[in-house]
Amino acid sequence: MIEELFLVLLPEGSVLEFAQSMQQKISEYYDIYLEDSYPEIHMTIDKINKDADEKKAIEVIESTLKNCEPVLIEIEEMDCFINYRNNFLVLNVVPTESLVQLAGRVHRELDKRDFSVIDDYEENWQFHITLISNYFAKNPLEEKVFQDLCRFHTGINFPHSSRAHHLELWRFSMDPQKKCITDFSIGQ
């Protein structure tokens, strides 16, 4: 089981609506998730070590987010990748100035305290919104089906943009009572 904590940015507006629509259509077609039980659309900004002091990590995040403006999220196209022995169909997110600034600032502060588990963040972190993965799936996609899905969707352009005003710190869970540890507002 994954025990890291996830700092996630919650899309709004047309980005959220488009991502939810695509997730639902693909999931229903391939019967991936339980009916009306889809993973919440989000963009992971950082991952926090399971052994980190949760209260101190929250304090660091809160102080880092003070005076931050809302984040512009722009999606451009679908892509696929394999990570942690799992398949992901994602929406690539454009590294907008506001996104890069906020994410970089938060990561640097978490990393200074050895809270972040992401190495080489600036060079290797790819901003994305996961639409489909085998995590939480009642019927995980077989490799061949996933490859066919990727061939069909990869590179198709879906330009949408909207602002995000909220982040949350999550545990790896589908249970809303267990998942969200706390939330943060920006630009308000």
Taking the alpha carbons at both ends of the chain, their separation in whole angstroms is: 36
Instruction: Give the percent of the chain with pLDDT over 70.
Output: 98
User: What pLDDT was estimated at residue 176?
Assistant: 84
- To the nearest 5 percent, what fractions of the chain are helix, strand and coil? 35, 30, 35
User: What pLDDT was estimated at residue 141?
Assistant: 86
Amino acid, single-letter form, for residue 149: L
Average pLDDT, the chain: 91
The highest-confidence range among 82-91, 117-126, 177-186, by mean pLDDT, is 177-186
Residue 84 has pLDDT above 70, yes or no: no
CATH number of domain containing 122 = 3.90.1140.10
Q: How many domains does the chain have?
A: 1
CA distance 52 to 116: 9
Give the tens place of pLDDT for each residue, 149-177.
888 877 777 889 999 999 999 999 988 88
Average pLDDT over residues 68-96: 88
* DSSP 8-class letter at 116: B
**Ramachandran sector of residue 153 (left: φ over 0; alpha: ψ -120 to 50; beta: rest):** alpha
Range of the domain at 107: 5-185
167, 8 in Cβ contact below 8 A? yes
> Taking the CB of residue 119, how many other CB atoms lie within 10 A of it?
9
3-state secondary structure 96-115: CHHHHHHHHHHHHHHHHCCC
Residue 57 CB-density burial (10 A; 0-12 exposed, 13-18 middle, 19+ buried)? buried
